[in-house]
Amino acid sequence: MAEQSIAAQSGTFKIGGDLPVYRLGFGAMRITGPGIWGEPHNPAEAIAVLKRALELGINFIDTADSYGPEVSERLIAEALHPYPDGLVIATKGGLMRGGPNNWYPNGKPEHLRTALEGSLKRLKLDCIDLYQLHRIDPDVPAAESLGVLADMQKEGKIRHIGLSEVNADQLRMAQKIVPIVTVQNRYNLTDREWESMVDLCEQENIGFIPWFPLATGDLAKPGSVLAEMAKRLDAQPSQLALAWLLRRSKTMLPIPGTSSVAHLEDNTHAASIQLSDDDYAALSALQA
C-alpha cells in the first residue's frame, strides 16, 4: 500500500462543500512545549512529525494562534511552506494565554482581527481556509465576534468559518450571521456529552471535529471489552477509538495530535481499520 493512501482510507469530506479533505487529520497542538506553552523540547521531531503527516496522506491540519502561543503556526509554515496543493490548514482565534495550561477567552472584534492577521503572517497565507472561533466570549456579544469574522470573510482573508465548544442554540444563532461549516467540540469514546451535536452536524453536513479524540481511560484496562477487541484485531485501543469515531458519523473529522513520528504513524493507520457491525455496536455500548 502506498503511504499516501493510508489517510485516504478514512474517507473524504468536503468542508464547506468545496474543500475536500481526508477525514482523519492532524491536530498540531502537541508540537509545542509542556502545557501547550513555548517551544517544543525537540524542534526537529516536531518538524519531522509535520512532514511525515503529509507523507502519510494527511491533508487536513488543525492549529490555533494560542498553541504556544504562535509556536504551532510558525512550525507548520517552517516545515511545510510552500504548501502542496490540496492541503487545508485550519486555525483558530479567540483564546488568550496566561501561561502553561492557562487559557481565557477574548472575543473582542479588534482582538480577533489582530489574531487573524497574525495567523496569516505566521502561516504565510493570504487566506485561511477554515478559521474557527476558539470560544464564544461570555463578556462579548457573540454577534460582535461573529460579525468581524464575517467582515474578514468578505475581505477574502477567510474562506470558511467554524465554531468550537458550542451548543445547538449557539450554532443556530451564529448561522443567522454567517455560514458555519464546522463545529469543534470535545468528543471521544469515553466522553459523549456532545452526542446530539454530532447528529445535528451530520444532518446539516457540517464537519464535526472532535478534540481529545484518543481518550480511552478505564475502557482500555486489561480484560476490558476494548482491550480484548484490540488484541483480537491486532490493534491498539487508541486506534479502535479513532476507528469508532470515523464510523460514528460521515461528517466526523478526528484530528489526533502528537509530538512523536511513531505515534503519528500508529494513529494514521487507524484509518485502515474497518470495524464490523458487531464490534462497532460493542464499542458504542461502552460506558466510561
DSSP 245-273: HHHH-TTB------S-HHHHHHHHGGGG-
Q: Establish if 241 belongs to a structural domain.
A: no
Q: Establish if 157 belongs to a structural domain.
A: yes
Q: Establish if 95 belongs to a structural domain.
A: yes
User: How far is 156 from 151, CA to CA, in rounded Å?
Assistant: 9
Assess contact for 115 and 65: CB atoms under 8 A: yes
Task: List the CATH number of the domain containing 166.
Answer: 3.20.20.100
pLDDT per residue over 156-196, tens digit each?
Answer: 999 999 999 999 999 999 999 999 999 999 999 999 999 99
Long-range CB contacts for residues 219-225, cutoff 8 Å, separation at least 24 = 219/189, 219/190, 219/286, 219/288, 225/282, 225/283, 225/286
User: How far is 128 from 152, CA to CA, in rounded Å?
Assistant: 10
Q: Of 67, 104, 131, 280, which is the active-site residue?
A: 67
Q: Establish if 242 belongs to a structural domain.
A: no
pLDDT bin (cut points 50, 70, 90) of residue 1 is low
Give yes or no for residue 33 having a pLDDT over 60. yes
pLDDT per residue over 110-142, tens digit each?
Answer: 999 999 999 999 999 999 999 999 999 999 999
pTM over cut 0.75? yes
Q: What domain count does the chain have?
A: 1
Locate 17 and state its grid cell: 462543500
Span 255-272, mean pLDDT? 97
User: How far is 79 from 192, CA to CA, in rounded Å?
Assistant: 34
Locate 43 and state its grid cell: 524542534
User: Is 22 a catalytic site residue?
Assistant: no
Q: Establish if 236 belongs to a structural domain.
A: no
Query: What's residue 217's pLDDT?
Result: 87
Could you list the residue range(s) of the whole structural domain that residue 157 is in?
A: 3-215+249-259
